[in-house]
Amino acid sequence: MSSKGSMSSKGCILATGGAGYVGTHTVVELLNEGYDVVVVDNLANATMEGLKRIEEITGKRVPAYNVNLLDTEGLKNIFSENRITCVMHFAGFKAVGKSVDIPLQYYKNNIGGTVNLLEVMNEFKVYNMIFSSSATVYGVPEKLPFVETDKTGGCTNPYGKTKFFIEEIMKDLYTADQQWNIVMLRYFNPIGAHKSGRIGESPIGIPHNLMPYISKVAAGELEFLTVYGGDYETKDGTGVRDYTHVVDLAKGHVAALKSVKNKCGLKIYNLGTGKAYSVLEMVKAFEKASGKTVKYKIAPRRAGDLPTFWSDVSLAKKELGWEAEKDLDEMCEDIWRWQCMNPGGYPSGQSKST
Distance CA 208, CA 303 (A): 14
Considering only CA atoms, which of 265, 258, 268 is closest in space to residue 312? 268
The residue from 65, 106, 159, 296 that is catalytic is 159
Considering only CA atoms, which of 220, 234, 248, 345 is closest in space to residue 282? 234
Give the pairing type, strands 277-278 and 240-241. antiparallel
Considering only CA atoms, which of 156, 157, 310 is closest in space to residue 241? 310
Distance CA 50, CA 338 (A): 13
Q: Which runs of consecutive H residues, i.e. helices, occur in 69-198?
A: 72-81, 96-101, 103-106, 113-123, 158-176
CA 145 to each of CA 133, 229, 302: distance values in angstroms, whole numbers, following the listed order: 17, 21, 23
Instruction: State the DSSP string of 215-251.
Output: HHHHTTSSS-EEEE-S-SSSSSSS-EE--EEHHHHHH
Catalytic site residue 159?
A: yes
Residues catalogued as catalytic: 159
